[in-house]
Amino acid sequence: MVSEDLKIPVHIGIIVDGNGRWAKEQGLSRSMGHKAGADNIEKIASYAFEKGVKVLSLYVFSTENFKRSEEEVNYLMDLFAIKFKNYSTLYNKQNIKVVFSGRKKPLPEKVLKMMEEMTEKTKNNTGGIINFCLNYGGQAEIVDAVKRIVKEGVDVDTLDIESFSKYLYQDLPPVDLMIRTSGEQRLSNFLLWQCSYAEFYFPETYFPAFTKDDFDLAILKYNNRDRRFGGIKYEDKTN
């Protein structure tokens, strides 16, 4: 249980990694690992919003994941299409707005259709935002922002960090806590811009096995961090 006086991060990112290794350990196919991971997203996302998180960004498919076998990519695309269909009812019930970050090309039509539907059906919800990062790459996002800026003929002298952020896929607050499951300690091209001052936490657990208690522990770890943002703490100002 997370106690009431804990600081809850406004924006949490999760790199939901380890589906394949989890499946291997269980003697299952990689596909079954992805299915278990997707099921767990529902549980963990609902819990995060219950705890007071306002924005949850989930890395569910990177631009680089298209390098995987056709069979695995097709399975994942089918899984997204099926899951997203159920998610609109689920997130409407919880008053959660669903947004997507990533490039549309070359996502299949069935996935794009579900994405549009879900965005539309949940657009007026006010209880929190779930940002599915699908066919997402942090470098691609920055390039795409620059392209928009050039195409729109923006006067570059007016650009600053705040106005540049408005050209990213979504206008969201910065990431406070970035969690990557499975023990890997890298960003793998996730939310490069938004993580400029994020705290990082790398639990060993594979995502399908990541529980509400593991989520609580991540919040506890976050509360033990000293976020300075380049400054110094008042009590340390000795000279």
Catalytic residues: 17, 65
> Taking CB under 6 A as the rule, does residue 18 contact ligand IPE?
yes
Nearer to Mg ion (CB atom), residue 65 or residue 165: 65
Distance of closest approach, residue 137 Cβ to ligand IPE, in angstroms: 10
Among 93, 91, 95, smallest CA distance to 114 is for: 91
One of 11, 12, 19, 100 touching ligand IPE (CB under 6 A) = 19
Distance of closest approach, residue 87 Cβ to ligand IPE, in angstroms: 16
Return the one option of Mg ion, ligand IPE, none that residue 181 interacts with (CB less than 5 to 8 A, by type).
none
Which neighbouring-strand residues pair with 57?
13, 131
Residues of this chain, 77-136, that bind ligand IPE according to CB under 6 A: none
**Burial track 116-128 (b if 16+ CB lie within 10 A, e otherwise):** eebbebbeebeeb
Name residue 101's amino acid.
Answer: S
H or E stretch covering 107: none
Which neighbouring-strand residues pair with 55?
11, 129
Angle at CA of residue 93, ends 175 and 1, nearest 5°: 55
Integer Cα distance of 156 and 23 in angstroms: 49
Residue with token string 């991971």: 37
Return the one option of Mg ion, ligand IPE, none that residue 21 interacts with (CB less than 5 to 8 A, by type).
ligand IPE
Distance of closest approach, residue 223 Cβ to ligand IPE, in angstroms: 25
> Taking CB under 6 A as the rule, does residue 184 contact ligand IPE?
yes
> Taking CB under 6 A as the rule, does residue 65 contact ligand IPE?
yes
Return the one option of Mg ion, ligand IPE, none that residue 188 interacts with (CB less than 5 to 8 A, by type).
ligand IPE
Which neighbouring-strand residues pair with 14?
58, 179
One of 2, 12, 17, 76 touching Mg ion (CB under 5 A) = 17
List the structure tokens of 106. 């070359």
One of 12, 45, 59, 199 touching ligand IPE (CB under 6 A) = 59
User: Quick one: CA dihedral 237, 229, 185, 225, positive or negative?
Assistant: positive
Return the one option of ligand IPE, Mg ion, none that residue 62 interacts with (CB less than 5 to 8 A, by type).
ligand IPE
Distance of closest approach, residue 184 Cβ to ligand IPE, in angstroms: 6
Q: Which stretch binds ligand IPE (CB under 6 A): 145-153, 163-171, 184-192, 193-201?
A: 184-192
Integer Cα distance of 59 and 133 in angstroms: 5
Which neighbouring-strand residues pair with 132?
58, 100
The footprint of ligand IPE (CB under 6 A) covers 15-21, 37, 59-62, 65, 76, 182, 184, 186, 188
Give the interface with Mg ion as residue ranges (CB under 5 A): 17
